[in-house]
Chain A
Amino acid sequence: MEVLRLESVQKGFDGNVAVRDLSWSIPEGSVYGLIGPNGSGKTTTIRMILDIFPPDEGRISLFGRKPDASTRDRVGYLPEERGLYKRMRVKDMLGYLGRLKGERGAALSGAIATWLERFGLSSWADRPVEDLSKGMQQKVQFIGTVLHDPKLLILDEPFSGLDPISADLLKDAVLELKKGGATIIFSTHAMEAAEKLCDSVLMLHRGDKVLDGTLESIRAEHGAQAVTLDYEGDGAALKALSGVDSINDYGKHAELTLAAGTDAQELLRGLLGKLRIHRFESRRSSLHEIFRRRVGGPVD
């Protein structure tokens, strides 16, 4: 069953197209990556899904209907720009966010207490938000997003600014929500993170859809054989190699995308004697590499 469907959606601001002719469908229970560099149209797409503003053209269907106040209550949204009322007490802030989602009474208080406990913030419940560290405030923001047990969770760069332990805590919570049946849209420009967490991805670039599908299908269709190597020596030797489509050379570390038919073992043999190789790994292209090849330039 589909949770979300966009059909030929278009949105522009002051004559500039932010999202162009976008069609997208998200099945229930999936973790879908919405990826692309800054300015690719991710946030505009999310705002249209949330009915913050309507599309100029096309149709959006959320839970089988046009987005409105009732569909909004079934969605949890963690925006990239975090914001809480600084002088409000943590539990009052969460209570306010919960009430705006239609939650009330003991159920709401119980959910607040449970989530605060889970994130180790129970002792901070009566403190004003401004007393909390930035990481703690991000956790509070996340709790505010999931308090009402949303059926669709939209997370915009959820791990940015979090320490590794807090990031793991949040990742586990997200996966648990997925197990509970929630559908998750994970918006990010960090493709490595999307690759680890998502079943499928939609890739945008300057408002256009570049790729859409499961990770496997994207890799199968657009991926190529790639090589990662750690080396010592003159990197010019890499540029002299034949059968290589693209090279991303960092001086001691390089990522190479191979042309069709190129044998990685042949490539390794060609490098031996020219460079001192510490590591050589043959693999499929990453999303980042696929994106670079698709749009023909660096990721912003």
Chain B
Amino acid sequence: MIRIWTIAKREFVEGLRNRAFLLGAVLTPAILVGSLFLPTGLAEKLKPDRAAIAVSGGDRPLVEELERRVALYNERGVRPRYDVERLDGGLEAALEKAKPRLASGDLAVLLYLGDRLIEGDGTISLYYHTAGIAGAPKDLGRWAGDSVRRRRLVLSGARPEAIAKLDAPVKLDTKIFGDRGQVSVEEAVVARILVPVAAAMLLFIGIFSVSQLCLTNLIEERSGRVLEVLLASVSPLELMAGKILGNGMLGLAVCGFWAMLGVHVARGHGLAQTITPLQFVLLPTYFVLGFLLFAAFYCAAGSICETVKGAQALMLPLTLTATVPLMLGGTIAHNQSTGLARALSLVPPMTPFAMMFRLALPPGPSPLDIALSLASLTLGVAGAVWAASRIFRVGILLHGRAPGPREVWRWVSSRN
């Protein structure tokens, strides 16, 4: 045990001295948060200050009514502000003029107010080009429809006060309730989407970056011929155990740092209640079990491959399998207790990530689901460590040609 601890301590200390790893540990949460928030923020920043809307068809009062609604929108100060341009001469002529401008992005949209709209059987048409569609107002169709309805009321002889009353905006007040009372829309989005995604992603990144470190260290030791020196002092199993323990401690330290950072940020934004105590207990549990599973496989791969590339290629199917819960995140977020979500929680390479996702989604999985997932993951870990240790002890000293699947199977199944 002392030897295992000596190896573990070295792995831990060398990991902490590894600048690339430390940089990754610090930058990962920043990149993750950035990747969640940046698309929205960036899209807002990239919007132009002004954009043009061309209107064709319709009579003057209808177009003026539409302009009034656009002006009301512009008063909100949201980017971009819209300028309405009239294009005369019918739809064909308007399209001919508008097409090059739509293609260049100079014009966001062409709105055509068809004949007999007031009478009730005309059509409003919107013409976009992919170049400018991002800058077009998404409510333009509704504004045009509201303008038509208002014109109908005016022409029907309704009193202006009655029209004003009908047209007055209706205030909307949304209330969302969580497990511990009412929450804001922002909190609901964080609880429903951001926390599950962040928890599963952090677990994924934590497990794979540290398992990867295990692998690169092992390959370095193989190519640097240090392994045989070490094996004169420790058994192959002690070596593997020390590596897994040391890197596991490193991973726990990194994940602990991320978790503390997450709590600090959540508290700073008044969102601390979106993170539950159960998540705090189960995050390290799933991390440890998930890490043991993948580190065992990575150690086995590192013991039979001469290069990091070769070992990564060997591990690719397993890595891809582990990403399935992340790819199906939308489905799980919709309902975390579906058969699919529960099935994913019982397949060891996917268990930690599926469960972190589900745990972060209120009301969370049942105690039975948690117990079953932990049991299946523990069994998976036991099997993986057993098989990996048998591959490791033989593969570790082989050089040259990588063994084939049959040979590896013989190592695993041999009685010796």
Asked if A101 is at the interface of the complex by the 8 Å CB criterion, the answer is yes
B397 touches A72 (CB 8 A): no
Residues of A within 8 A of B229 (CB): 77, 79, 82-84, 97, 141, 144
User: In the complex, what residues of B have CB within 8 A of residue A47's CB?
Assistant: 397
Which residues of chain B are within 8 angstroms of A100 by Cβ–Cβ distance? 3, 6-7, 230, 233-234
Q: Tell me which of A52, A82, A97 contacts B397 (CB under 8 A).
A: A52
Chain A CB count within 10 A is highest, among B7, B233, B394, B407, for: B233
Stretch from B99-107, B189-197, B218-226, B369-377 at the A interface = B218-226
Q: Given the complex of chains A and B, what is the CA–CA distance between A88 and B11 in angstroms?
A: 12
Least CB distance from A145 to B in Å reads: 8
**B234: chain A residues within 8 A (beta carbon):** 69, 72, 100
CB of A75 within 8 Å of the partner chain: yes
Q: Is the interface of A mostly helix, strand, loop or mixed?
A: loop
**Is B235 among interface residues, defined by CB-CB distance under 8 A?**
yes
Do A52 and B6 touch (CB < 8 A)?
A: no
A52 in contact with B236 (CB, 8 Å):
yes
Chain A's interface size range is 20 to 34
- Known A-B contacts A50-B232, A54-B416, A69-B235; the reply to A84 vs B6 at CB < 8 A is no
A52: B residues at CB distance < 8 A:
231-232, 235-236, 397
Contact in complex: B6, A96 (CB < 8 Å): yes
In the bound complex, how far is the Cα of B324 from the Cα of A74, in angstroms? 50
Chain B residues in 8 Å Cβ range of A72: 232-234
How many residues of B are counted as interface, with CB atoms below 8 angstroms from the partner's CB atoms?
26
Q: Which residue of B lies closest to A156 (CB)?
A: B228
Nearest CB of chain B from residue A11's CB, rounded to whole Å: 11
Instruction: Identify which of residues 209-248 in chain B touch chain A, using a CB-to-CB cut-off of 8 Å.
Output: 221, 224-236, 238
Flag A42-85 by CB within 8 Å of B: 1 or 0 each: 00000100111110100000000000010011011101011111
Bound together, the chains give a CA A87 to CA B235 distance in angstroms of 24
Shortest A45–chain B CB gap in Å is 14
Cβ A14 vs Cβ B225 within 8 A: no
What per-residue 1/0 map shows which CB atoms of B196-207 lie under 8 Å from chain A?
000000000000
Q: Does A294 contact B (CB under 8 A)?
A: no
What chain A residues lie within 8 Å of B393 (beta carbons)? 53
Contact A99 B6 (CB under 8 A): yes
Q: Is A86 an interface residue (CB 8 A)?
A: yes
Q: Which of B224, B233, B235, B397 contacts A86 (CB 8 A)?
A: B224
Residue contact B10 to A96, C-beta cutoff 8 Å: yes
Chain A, residues 8-44, CB within 8 Å of chain B (1/0): the string is: 0000001000000000000000000000000000000
Report chain B residues within 8 Å CB of A56.
Answer: 416
Query: What are the residues of chain B within 8 A of A50 when measuring CB–CB?
Result: 231-232
Asked if B168 lies at the interface with its beta carbon under 8 angstroms from chain A, I say no
Highest count of chain A CB atoms <10 Å: which of B230, B231, B394: B231
CA distance A165 to B238 in the complex (A): 38
- The reply on B2 being an interface residue by CB < 8 A is yes
Q: Report A-chain residues with C-beta under 8 Å of the C-beta of B233.
A: 72-73, 97, 100-101
Is A110 in the interface zone, CB < 8 Å from B?
no
Residue of A nearest to B234 (CB): A100
Is A84 within 8 A of B397, CB to CB?
no
**A180 interface contact, C-beta 8 A:** no
Q: Which residues of B contact A73 (CB under 8 A)?
A: 233
Complex Cα distance A144/B228, Å? 13
Q: Is the interface of B mostly helix, strand, loop or mixed?
A: helix
Report if A102 contacts B (CB, 8 A): yes
Q: Which residues of B contact A83 (CB under 8 A)?
A: 221, 224-229
Nearest chain B CB to A84's CB is how many angstroms away?
6
CB pair A81–B235 under 8 Å, yes or no, is: no
| In the complex, chain B residues 1-18 whose Cβ is within 8 Å of any chain A Cβ | 2-3, 6-7, 10, 14
Complex alpha-carbon distance, A101 and B229, angstroms: 11
Residues of chain A lying within 8 A (CB to CB) of residue B416 = 54, 56
Nearest chain B CB to A153's CB is how many angstroms away? 11
Docked complex Cα distance between A233 and B93 (Å): 110
Q: How far is the CB of A156 from chain B (nearest CB, A)?
A: 9
Q: Closest CB of chain B to A148's CB: distance in Å?
A: 9
B259 to chain A, nearest CB (A): 30
Residues of A within 8 A of B232 (CB): 50, 52, 72, 75-77, 79
Instruction: State which of A76, A85, A99 has its C-beta within 8 Å of the C-beta of B226.
Output: A85
Give Cα distance in the complex from A14 to B404, angstroms.
12
List the B side residues contacting A144 at CB < 8 Å: 229
What CA separation (Å) do A52 and B227 show in the bound complex? 11
Q: Is the CB of A102 within 8 A of B2?
A: yes
Provide the residues of chain A in CB contact with B397, threshold 8 Å.
47, 52-53
B224 touches A53 (CB 8 A): no
The 8 A CB mask of B80-121 against A (1 = contact, 0 = none) is 000000000000000000000000000000000000000000
Q: Which residue of B lies closest to A51 (CB)?
A: B235
Q: Which residues of B contact A96 (CB under 8 A)?
A: 6, 10
Contact with B along A137-159 (1 / 0, CB 8 A): 00001001000000000000000
Complex: chain B residue closest to A99, CB-CB: B6
Known: A79-B229, A100-B234, A101-B233. A84 touches B3 (CB 8 A): no
Instruction: Specify which chain A residues have a CB less than 8 angstroms from the CB of B235 in the assembled complex.
Output: 51-52, 69
- B416 CB, nearest partner CB in chain A, Å: 6
Task: State how many angstroms separate the Cβ of B192 from the closest Cβ of chain A.
Answer: 46
Contact B394 A53 (CB under 8 A): yes
Q: How far is the CB of B212 from chain A (nearest CB, A)?
A: 18
Q: Report the Cα distance A99→B393, complex, angstroms.
A: 22
1/0 per residue, CB under 8 A from A, across B382-416: the answer is 00000000000110010000000001000000001
Give the complex CA separation of A102 and B227 in angstroms. Answer: 18
The one of B7, B224, B394 in contact with A84, judged by C-beta atoms closer than 8 angstroms, is B224
On chain A, the residues within 8 Å of B407 by CB distance are: 14
The 3 closest A-B pairs by CB, nearest first: A83-B225, A77-B232, A100-B233
Chosen A-B contacts, 19 in total, with CB atoms closer than 8 Å, are A47-B397, A51-B235, A52-B235, A52-B397, A53-B394, A54-B416, A69-B3, A72-B234, A75-B232, A77-B232, A79-B228, A81-B225, A83-B226, A83-B228, A84-B224, A85-B14, A99-B6, A100-B230, A101-B233
Q: A53-B394, A97-B229 are in contact. List 19 more A-B contacts (CB 8 A).
A: A14-B407, A51-B235, A52-B232, A52-B236, A69-B235, A72-B233, A77-B229, A77-B232, A79-B228, A83-B227, A83-B229, A84-B226, A84-B229, A86-B224, A96-B6, A100-B3, A100-B230, A100-B233, A101-B233
